[in-house]
Structure 1
Amino acid sequence: MAPARPGPHHSVTVVGIGADGWAGLTDTSRSALRDAQVLIGGPRQLELLSGECAGLRVTWPSPLRPAVAGLLAAHAGRRIAVLASGDPMFYGIGRALAEETAALSVLPHPSSVSYAAARLGWPLEDVEVVTLVGRPAARLAAVLHHGRRLLVLSADAATPGEVAALLRDRGFGPSRMRVLEQLGGPQERASDETGAADWTRPPGDPLNIVTVECRRAPDAPRLGAVPGLPDNAYEHDGQLTKRHIRAATLGVLAPAPGELLWDIGGGSGSIAIEWMRTHPSCRAVTVERAAVRAERIVRNAERLGVPGLRVITGAAPAVLAELPSPDAVFIGGGLTAPGLLDACWAALPDGGRLVANTVTLESEALLADAHRRLGGELVKLAVAHAVPVGAFTGWRQAMPVTQWAVEKAPNPLPGDDR
């Protein structure tokens, strides 16, 4: 059961605080902290407070997120102030609090990202911001593009070294890096700019942000920002939706921010991976019955920057009942499994999309029948590659792919003759 949201009488004020501590706060923020009966924050943040703050000091437990509702309930009816680093609504505790209470007041402070952009002269609208706080470093791989600037929010002092190692491994060793520590505070300092390939700097202050100017090595593969990555970007055993078919398939699946995809018969995971690469908030679950292939999907997802891909080892439709409702479904294998197509269709909400690809006559017959019953678009996709024919060049035809794509329309209301 979801926790009850505190009522309006449960006053919660979130105060952003920087490395400059009490001295850097506005009068409004100081007043809120002096007036609070309960002060909640991390040990480092609580230590920055003045002795003028007489409220009960409570340190966040770990893990933090599950404790939020309980702490608010435990101090219900008292004036609560929560301390946050920088801007509470930018990868901060503000989001979790907003999900728990409607009586929220936020007093932001400049974030480390704002300070970093100011120090470097980088317009924020031209910078990619990636947080590695509580998240794997592999997420960074999805935003590596030659010439782009990145600001990486570090989890701790070890993060810069992890970033450098990932850049080297992904073919971005020539990228230029700096570490900015204690931004906005009296102990602020910046490292010299160094190439990721030559990074040997030992861990420094845990409160840091990593700046990266991306430069791709000449021999590194170029991975674009749209679906249709080169086939050699994937580890596979031949069970791979090939590049041109993959791009066409993602086009009709039409991922949008925040949406969830079911990828049935994952193979190498290429459809789910490229779905998730379209936007950081896109989610996917891939179902693959072969354990070896499921493990390969995990490796591909990590290498291509979407380690959050959920991989289910099992057979569909049996494993589908426990999955969250999808916004779209792709069936790349197992179409002839009894009940699979009907189960996927039933799981889709109104407006959901279903796309199925096949190269066999048996599965093609199922898609033709589904097209007759449910509508949508039935197409045949054919790709040919130029290959040597003696001293000349000819076309080698790949197996044609039959694709059915359909959007689930709402059921008409009784008496609705539309």
Structure 2
Amino acid sequence: MTGTVTVVGYDGSPLGADASRALAGATLVVGGRRHLDAVAVPATARTVVMGPLSPAVEELARHDGEAVVVASGDPGFFGIVRALREAGLDPRVLPGVSSVALAFARVGLPWDDALVVSAHGRDLAAAVNACRAHPKVAVLTGPGAGPAEIGAALGATARRMVVCERLGTDEERVTAISVQDTARAWADPNVTLVLDDERLATRVGSAWPRAAAPDAWALPESEFAHRDSMVTKAEVRALALARLAPRPGLLVWDVGAGSGSVAVECARFGAAVVAVERDADQCRRVDANARRHGVSVDVVAGSAPAALDTLPDPDAVFVGGGGPDVVAACARRKPARVVAALAAVDRLAPVRDALSGGGYAVDGTLLQSSRMRALPDGSTRLAAENPVLLVWGERL
């Protein structure tokens, strides 16, 4: 094309001078129906009502002359600017106030510590897992991935939702509601805030959102409350984390969680985590360890495999306790990765067969480590830890 593509962010307030001049000189104006009705489109300009994104972008690429795209809020924030750049266009951007900024402003909350995700045209499960893991999340919703679907997926979790419909318009509505009460029709577009008030009240939410690796991992056992040294050793956790690959947007199960050291470490990487443990005292330790490290871990008290039946499907599973039947039950849920820690070598073959029979490429290693220990004379000896067989499967 020749000429300039100017992207105007519309947030319901009067357009500024630059945006008004760009519109007055445009020969092509592209936008949603409500945006075109809200701004002063020149009578001589051709208009394209935006539905699917690709045809609108192609029309802009073919156009000779000045073009304006009217989009919601800040179009560089989960907006059309990315698509224009990918199509080889170099747009001039005049942003408005983003819908996320408006949503947090309406409820009087800061949002420099919020995690912002989009479910519009994307995997809803990833957005829901972000809501499980982080105490303050803004979700940009879309058809089939709105407040009702988010609330249904979150289930009985203790979260408060604030649904912000049609922000910046005369039809704006802001509704605070529990996740259990979201099964109703909501107006599009909307932004949904998902808040864990308990964690926010303890100032966990004052930290930056965990969107990258934590500052340390494979933490010393002393970082976790445990019973009689019943805790997955740091060397084992290091390899298990590498094979589980936890990150924001994923859901990890820690089955037979014990003290929950693997669960907590996965949560520190930003993953949503469910810890399954049959011992009530250990369940309390998992919860205490999660609180100590400022992360969210959903603790399910029960014995696997029965306790797994009602859980949401995982992306990765660590089996720290339980036999081949538990591994097989996990494999039937088809996570991308399964990692099992075995203390008894005679469980290797049945666990291997359970994974390979479930459609996984199987590998493993025996971890034998010796740690430095000081002797009375100032010299150092090496003290052997109990060997652990780590077996993992990656879905074919």
Give TM class, smaller chain.
Answer: 0.5 to 0.7
Q: What's the offset of the Cα at 1:17?
A: 1.3
Partners of 2:268 and 2:122 in 1: how far apart? Answer: 16
Tell me: CA distance 1:99–1:252, structure 2 relative to 1, closer, same or farther (3 Å). same
Instruction: Give the corresponding residue for 1:31.
Output: 21
Instruction: Give the corresponding residue for 1:195.
Output: 178
1:150-169 aligned at under 5 Å gives the runs: 150-156=137-143, 159-168=146-155
Retained in 2: the 8 A contact 1:381–1:400? no
1:214-293 aligned at under 5 Å gives the runs: 214=196, 247-249=237-239, 278=269
Partners of 1:86 and 1:382 in 2: how far apart? Answer: 58
Instruction: Give the corresponding residue for 1:300.
Output: 314
Across the aligned residues of Structure 1 and Structure 2, the Cα RMSD in angstroms comes to 4.7
Instruction: Give the corresponding residue for 1:74.
Output: 62
2:48 to 58, 64, 72: 58
1:206 partnered with 2:188: yes
Tell me: CA distance 1:68–1:140, structure 2 relative to 1, closer, same or farther (3 Å). same
Q: What's the offset of the Cα at 1:78?
A: 1.4
Partners of 2:335 and 2:91 in 1: how far apart? Answer: 33
SS at match of 1:106: strand
Tell me: CA distance 1:310–1:401, structure 2 relative to 1, closer, same or farther (3 Å). closer
Retained in 1: the 8 A contact 2:368–2:385? no
Instruction: Give the corresponding residue for 1:319.
Output: none
Q: What's the offset of the Cα at 1:50?
A: 2.4
Tell me: CA distance 1:70–1:52, structure 2 relative to 1, closer, same or farther (3 Å). closer
Q: What's the offset of the Cα at 1:101?
A: 3.3
Structure 2: unaligned runs, 5 residues or longer: 200-209, 219-231, 249-261, 272-311, 319-333, 338-351, 354-361, 372-383
Partners of 1:36 and 1:310 in 2: how far apart? Answer: 51
1:87-166 aligned at under 5 Å gives the runs: 87-101=74-88, 103-144=90-131, 148-156=135-143, 159-166=146-153
Instruction: Give the corresponding residue for 1:17.
Output: 10
Partners of 1:78 and 1:303 in 2: how far apart? Answer: 55
After superposition, give the CA deviation of every residue in 1:47-90 in whole Å (9 maximum; x if it has no partner).
3232545311013353x24x465323321x31111121110100
Q: What's the offset of the Cα at 1:212?
A: 1.7
1:184 maps to amino acid? G
Partners of 1:310 and 1:54 in 2: how far apart? Answer: 56
Q: What's the offset of the Cα at 1:118?
A: 1.2
Partners of 2:132 and 2:268 in 1: how far apart? Answer: 13
Tell me: CA distance 1:145–1:32, structure 2 relative to 1, closer, same or farther (3 Å). same
Report runs of 4+ in structure 1 exceeding 4 Å deviation. Answer: 225-228, 242-246, 250-258, 274-280, 309-312, 379-383, 395-398
| Aligned residues with identical type, % of pairs | 27
SS at match of 1:209: strand
SS at match of 1:29: helix
2:20 maps to amino acid? R
What TM-score results when the alignment is normalised by the length of structure 1? 0.51
SS at match of 2:71: strand
2:104 maps to amino acid? A
Partners of 2:197 and 2:133 in 1: how far apart? Answer: 5
What TM-score results when the alignment is normalised by the length of structure 2? 0.53
Retained in 2: the 8 A contact 1:157–1:208? no
Instruction: Give the corresponding residue for 2:71.
Output: 84
Partners of 1:401 and 1:157 in 2: how far apart? Answer: 40
Structure 1: unaligned runs, 5 residues or longer: 1-5, 218-224, 229-241, 259-270, 281-297, 313-332, 335-355, 361-378, 384-394, 404-418
Tell me: CA distance 1:49–1:203, structure 2 relative to 1, closer, same or farther (3 Å). same
Q: What's the offset of the Cα at 1:164?
A: 1.0
Instruction: Give the corresponding residue for 1:291.
Output: none
Q: What's the offset of the Cα at 1:245?
A: 6.4
Retained in 2: the 8 A contact 1:14–1:106? yes
Tell me: CA distance 1:246–1:143, structure 2 relative to 1, closer, same or farther (3 Å). farther
1:74 maps to amino acid? R
Q: What's the offset of the Cα at 1:114?
A: 0.9
Deviates further, 159-168 or 93-102: 93-102
Partners of 1:84 and 1:303 in 2: how far apart? Answer: 41
1:368-379 aligned at under 5 Å gives the runs: none
1:45 partnered with 2:23: no
Task: Give the length in aligned residue pairs.
Answer: 261
